[in-house]
A = this chain, B = another copy of it.
Amino acid sequence: MCIRYLALIPPTPFIRGGAKKCMNFSTRTTYGLRAMIRLAGRKGPESLSLPNIAKAENISLGYLERLFSDLKKGGLVQSGKGVKGGYKLAKPAERIEVYEIVKSLEGKMSPFHCLDEGGKIYCKVSCRCGATKVLIKVQEAVKKTLKGIKLSDLVA
């Protein structure tokens, strides 16, 4: 998901055919969120299988499997193999921040760097150029927002 769409375009009705780019999260995050919402929506203690979720959400199974690998590493879900296997939340939805979900799905990337006059690559340690100042403030705002939303808030 690119910041531009987030910041620039108000939530307007969809216009079919008019959109080449979207202002969604990446499908990675979108899929992961929606799958987590499904898990959170379960009543009983039974697990929900990935083929089940993939079908319901129309997501490719292989892709979803990798997302859940990340969610599990992030400590957000528990898994069980076998016929009655599947996934369930590792803790109550009330105690899962959306921030944690996004972090698990997208967060193991790179440290912080930026362009600099010296060349295309890269920045000095602790660079604080103008673009960076902006970045830091936006970063803080997004983080705070994501931390303020619990998974349970998203269950219909």
Contacts and interface: CB of A to CB of B under 8 A. Distances in A.
Contact of A133 (B7, B16, B129, B154): B154
B154 A109 contact: no
Nearest to A98: B134
A155 interface: yes
A106 interface: yes
Question: A1, A4, A18, A22 — which one has the most chain B CB atoms within 10 A of its CB?
Answer: A4
A11 interface: yes
B56 A124 contact: no
Interface of A: 1-16, 18-27, 29-31, 33-34, 37, 56-58, 98-99, 102-103, 105-107, 109-115, 117-120, 122-127, 129-139, 141-146, 148-149, 153-156
Given A7-B146, A20-B110, A30-B114, 7 more contacts: A1-B4, A3-B6, A4-B106, A21-B110, A22-B112, A33-B131, A138-B142
A155 B130 contact: yes
Determine how many copies of this chain the complex contains. 2
A133 B15 CA distance: 19
B4 A2 contact: no
B126 A24 contact: no
Given A58-B117, A111-B19, A127 B14 contact: yes
A103 to B, nearest CB: 5
